[in-house]
Amino acid sequence: MKNKFILLKTNTTKSQRAQSLHKVENNLYECLESSCLSGKSFFRSLALFSVLLIFISPMLNAQSVGESGLAFLKHGFGARNIAMGDFGVASSNDLTALNYNPALLAYNKNSQIAFSHNSLFQDLSSEMIGVSFEAFGLPFAIGANTTSISNIEVRTKPGEAEGTFNAHYFFGSISSAYQLNPDLSAGATIKYLYENLYSDESTGLAFDFGLAYKNLISGLTLGASLKNIGSMSSLRSESTELPSDLRIGAAYDFAVSDFNFIATGGFQEYLKEGTAHAHFGGEISYKENFAVRVGYLSGYDSKNISTGFGVIWKSLNLDYAYVPVKFGLGDSHILSLTYTFN
């Protein structure tokens, strides 16, 4: 089965055709998205966390509700995160935090390399690679994503397709984090963006910002992130709006005998679109060798559950996630490999 078809009228301008292709591309994506502390230390950290959130709130109010594009920026990174509800703002425990909340990189002390393949549906696939390391006393992570939609059909009249074309998307990013105190960290990411639709292309820059607070109570992590704040150059005559994304959530980690449990959840809103979602997820691991995961997402027409598992062998993690998708679009399968340099 081919992807969506495009009907290009012969009496439209090239600019109008490019804008039409952009809207169809976005619709293709949207079908998948439809320890104890002293009192002084605790209140100082909590106050700083609150002040930083207040600092970014004017940026949130500046966002208007409407349409956004570059929906590949909504893709998760790492099968573990996706299987647990694709949230990650407080539960990402490795370099994949670069995609959810860069502040969490402050707690990842080991260098890592990770690769993730995401088979979304039919002719849409996405690959992401990341590397984390320490330099100048700070944690850094570099990420790159390439996403393509192939075999988009072109028609100027009803009947057989007259040809096909592919759409291509890319981002390259660098992230870092800083521990403001032993429990509070802040992080940021800068991304270079590229999109190519039909015969047109554009580039842009985007920024992510994150906060993380650990050990409000033992095992509890709070996280907040603001993603995809930036702009694109014109795609012929119209620039693409970025899918700005606010997430606030928590993760709770505890152990019972040889089993470790993680529960996570929180709130997400795509600011340009005015759509809000709740995400919940959990993980049970045994002796840090094998893990099973499940997640739930609200507010999407085509998906609401996710599941998966992970196998840990020495320094290598193999993770798999499965996301069933409605409407016969084809389910999503995500496979990830992560190697940790000890």
User: Burial of 281 by CB count in 10 Å (0-12 exposed, 13-18 middle, 19+ buried)?
Assistant: buried
Q: Return the pLDDT at 128.
A: 95
In this prediction, residue 20 carries a pLDDT of 52
Q: What is the C-alpha to C-alpha distance for residues 294 and 282, in angstroms, rounded to an integer? A: 6
CATH topology of domain 5-341: Porin (2.40.160)
Q: Kind of pairing, strands 163-179 and 184-197?
A: antiparallel
Cross-strand partners of 237: none
The per-residue pLDDT for range 44-58, each reduced to its tens digit, is: 444 444 434 433 443
**Domain spans of the chain, in order of start:** 5-341
pLDDT tens for each residue of 25-36: 555 554 444 433
Interval 88-93 mean pLDDT: 95
Burial call 217-232: b when 16+ CB within 10 Å, e when fewer: eebebbbbbbbbbbeb
Grouping H, G, I as helix, E, B as strand and the rest as coil, residue 29 is helix
What is the pTM for the complete model shown? 0.81
Say how far apart CA 132 and CA 170 lie, in whole Å.
19
Q: Write out pLDDT tens, residues 96-135.
A: 999 999 999 999 989 999 999 988 766 678 999 999 999 9
Poorest-pLDDT segment among 115-124, 194-203, 251-260, 289-298: 115-124
Residue 322, token pair as written in the block: 């499965």
pLDDT of residue 41: 42
Phi, psi of 254 (to 5 degrees): -150, 160
Closest CA to 100 of 52, 59, 141, 50: 141
* Residue 36 confidence (pLDDT): 36
192 CB burial (10 A radius; 0-12, 13-18, 19+) = middle
